[in-house]
Chains A and B, each alone.
Chain A
């Protein structure tokens, strides 16, 4: 039987590799993530592989977008410099594993907040930085102007590993339409296949459709249909089990939104220190001891506003001025007819 020992050992070794997990062990002490981040000197942030307006790298490798800005805000708060972020581009399929295995510390990648993701797989959603919904894009020349005109046999291109696949099934089933799902691993291939004529329609979150439309050979040939078939609240995600880190990310995002509400911008943040409004003074660190709760200094929120800007600035810079979605729609402050509403920082 010793003849087989060699084979046996290699088999066992293989199985061992199979079960390899991150070597980070023991119950997380109070915010190990924060301590590690400060030790490393950069925030590890998972982003998309290129979605204009949300997370997109330019030719020089500089990342921009509203999702990117969340990570930059955390870096400004924790490390004092919004540029100290290491971005890891992830496919929809890889994203949660990268986060739960500890490869990244924040996932800010247009990810929909759902019950099963929040409760089931070791993730915690900290908020919503973009309210979205799933829609359909078609060629203008097809004459389709509403999803009511879809017929049996329609082929729909989309991404795997997203809520999109599930919503699409629910939608077509409820309408009793037979459809052909063509699901790719990467967004670039979805766009290329749809653009080539493989599919009659391309479905994903509407913001994604608007962003990807700009990548088409001829953007004017395509339209996004008016119907929205699902709720897609997109937001940053952290690993379960580190509530301090979770709070830091949540309140970095909230600070950006609250700063817009009080009219604090990257340009006027320093002057706001002498404001009469105590809520504003708290946000720029001139009053109260808000940072202490996270183990941060009192200027953490001021740095976010000065280096990254408020939510409105980020939206304008990344999404409105690039022509992706000039109208803020639901992503407007609650005081201006939108649904952006964050708990008060006090």
Chain B
């Protein structure tokens, strides 16, 4: 212990000050709430919510509890974040690489995309995609079928629903394929390290992931049929599609705007990462006889990823938090359902806002932990 008094005292004072301020605000809030006859408590979570939600991943209607409404909002937030992160990452990597392309057109187009989308406020982009798309899309009765089964209309994207028989067998075949691929990869690595021989892992994997599920159809008794959406008339000029799965336009507009916006930042991270790897690395790798593919996979990417991951984590966090702008266009996320409707119906402002903040905090920290773990995994292993 080499802690000195002068090291401890300032920290101690800070802690005491913070606790006092915290105590003051809590006390004050209590007094204020008491004066105005507001009760504090989380008991409302088990009460019946009595409002409906447009779009939900779990079974929900107004007869369920406020807690269930919270889960509905949370899952919708997670859904839009996950889809957004996946699309933004794919798009970001493509654009980031395109910005380094020697091809003038590709290069300039990528640069234009990045500058355009990252410099317009996100809320405006959300409004643009929602209202512009709404006005541009056809009414259900005028919609042209895409591939005969998809219908993109002002009321949403209608896609055929999968109707499975023996779905579990299909699922297990997929799991088996994934396990087999992992085993083969480990084996291939060993073979290469011991004998220098290379096994075409990629093609074997591709084959496995197709063949095993295919077998489940042929001999496992798995059957798949589609339920195609059918137009239904509600009134003279009002139609919808019935059957199949409908994705609300709010979800599509929100995912689109979040991904397009965040992809610009990820593209810049990717570009920085690739440019951050010294030119000599590439030349050295080529000079020892690695193919261009191997140069990218074994030399450039492992080093570039170390630069790319930390700032990209920030972008993932931003995307998740930005998804709370959903309230503006009626996508029932956590903020709209829980910190919106539920807050209004119960009046429990402090309780609900604190739960919502804590939830976002937990979501963000989970993403951070996951990305930090990955970052550590790819960091330089000092031996």
Chain A residues at the B interface, C-beta cutoff of 8 Å: 2, 5, 8-9, 12-13, 15-16, 18-28, 92-93, 96-97, 100, 116-117, 120-122, 138-139, 141-144, 149-151, 153-155, 157, 160-162, 165-166, 168-169, 173, 179-186, 189, 192-193, 196-198, 200, 239-241
A16–B14 CB distance below 8 A: no
Q: At the interface, yes or no: B28 with Cβ under 8 Å from chain A?
A: yes
Inter-chain CA distance A16–B25, complex, in Å, is 7
Residue of A nearest to B38 (CB): A122
- Counting from the closest, the 6 A-B pairs by CB-CB distance are A121-B347, A122-B36, A161-B344, A143-B236, A21-B29, A16-B22
Q: Is the interface of B mostly helix, strand, loop or mixed?
A: helix
Inter-chain CA distance A334–B3, complex, in Å, is 81
Known interface pairs A142-B235, A160-B344, A182-B250; A26-B52 also in contact (CB < 8 Å): no
- In the complex, which residues of chain A have a beta carbon less than 8 angstroms from the beta carbon of B248? 182
- In the complex, which residues of chain B have a beta carbon less than 8 angstroms from the beta carbon of A141? 236-237
- In the complex, which residues of chain B have a beta carbon less than 8 angstroms from the beta carbon of A16? 18, 21-22, 25
Give the residue of A120, A122, A181 whose beta carbon is less than 8 angstroms from that of B54.
A181
A200–B235 CB distance below 8 A: yes
14 extra A-B contacts, CB within 8 A, seeds A21-B25, A26-B31, A100-B38: A12-B19, A16-B18, A19-B29, A28-B35, A97-B349, A138-B235, A160-B341, A161-B344, A181-B53, A184-B328, A197-B134, A198-B155, A198-B249, A240-B36
Residues 21-53 of B, flagged 1 when their CB comes within 8 A of A and 0 if not, give 110011011011101111100000000001111
- In the complex, which residues of chain B have a beta carbon less than 8 angstroms from the beta carbon of A21? 25, 28-29, 32-33, 350
Q: How many Å from the CB of B143 to the closest CB on chain A?
A: 12
Which of B11, B18, B22, B238 has the most chain A CB atoms closer than 10 A to its own CB?
A: B238
Give me 6 A-to-B residue pairs in the complex whose CB atoms sit less than 8 angstroms apart, sorted by A's number.
A22-B32, A122-B347, A143-B235, A144-B235, A179-B52, A181-B53
Q: At the interface, yes or no: B234 with Cβ under 8 Å from chain A?
A: yes
Stretch at the interface among B208-216, B220-228, B329-337: B329-337
- In the complex, which residues of chain A have a beta carbon less than 8 angstroms from the beta carbon of B28? 21, 23, 25
A19–B22 CB distance below 8 A: yes
B234–A200 CB distance below 8 A: yes
Residue of A nearest to B345 (CB): A166
A9–B15 CB distance below 8 A: yes
- In the complex, which residues of chain A have a beta carbon less than 8 angstroms from the beta carbon of B327? 160, 184-185
Known interface pairs A2-B7, A18-B353; A100-B18 also in contact (CB < 8 Å): no
Inter-chain CA distance A192–B3, complex, in Å, is 64
Inter-chain CA distance A162–B155, complex, in Å, is 24
Chain B residues at the A interface, C-beta cutoff of 8 Å: 3, 7-8, 11, 14-15, 18-19, 21-22, 25-26, 28-29, 31-33, 35-39, 50-54, 62, 131, 134-135, 139, 154-155, 232, 234-238, 240, 242, 248-250, 327-330, 332, 336, 340-341, 343-347, 349-350, 353-354, 357
Give the residue of B11, B134, B328, B350 whose beta carbon is less than 8 angstroms from that of A196.
B134
Residue of B nearest to A197 (CB): B154
Known interface pairs A18-B354, A19-B25, A184-B330; A161-B11 also in contact (CB < 8 Å): no
Inter-chain CA distance A120–B343, complex, in Å, is 13
Inter-chain CA distance A282–B360, complex, in Å, is 59
A162–B15 CB distance below 8 A: no
Number of A-B contacts (CB under 8 A): 179
Inter-chain CA distance A51–B28, complex, in Å, is 36
A13–B18 CB distance below 8 A: yes
- In the complex, which residues of chain A have a beta carbon less than 8 angstroms from the beta carbon of B354? 18-19
Inter-chain CA distance A239–B250, complex, in Å, is 37
- In the complex, which residues of chain B have a beta carbon less than 8 angstroms from the beta carbon of A160? 327, 336, 340-341, 344
Q: How many Å from the CB of A54 to the closest CB on chain B?
A: 19
Residue of A nearest to B62 (CB): A169
Inter-chain CA distance A153–B156, complex, in Å, is 13
Known interface pairs A19-B354, A21-B32, A139-B237; A192-B131 also in contact (CB < 8 Å): yes
- In the complex, which residues of chain B have a beta carbon less than 8 angstroms from the beta carbon of A161? 340-341, 343-345
Give the residue of B19, B62, B336, B349 whose beta carbon is less than 8 angstroms from that of A183.
B336
Q: How many Å from the CB of A208 to the closest CB on chain B?
A: 16
Known interface pairs A93-B343, A160-B344, A240-B36; A9-B14 also in contact (CB < 8 Å): yes
Q: How many Å from the CB of A94 to the closest CB on chain B?
A: 9
Q: How many Å from the CB of A159 to the closest CB on chain B?
A: 10
- In the complex, which residues of chain A have a beta carbon less than 8 angstroms from the beta carbon of B240? 153, 155
Inter-chain CA distance A200–B345, complex, in Å, is 25
Residue of B nearest to A24 (CB): B32
- In the complex, which residues of chain A have a beta carbon less than 8 angstroms from the beta carbon of B343? 93, 161
- In the complex, which residues of chain A have a beta carbon less than 8 angstroms from the beta carbon of B139? 197
Give the residue of A151, A162, A196, A239 whose beta carbon is less than 8 angstroms from that of B131.
A196
- In the complex, which residues of chain A have a beta carbon less than 8 angstroms from the beta carbon of B332? 183
Give the residue of A18, A142, A181 whose beta carbon is less than 8 angstroms from that of B237.
A142
Q: How many Å from the CB of B316 to the closest CB on chain A?
A: 21
Known interface pairs A19-B354, A189-B330; A196-B135 also in contact (CB < 8 Å): yes
Q: How many Å from the CB of B208 to the closest CB on chain A?
A: 42
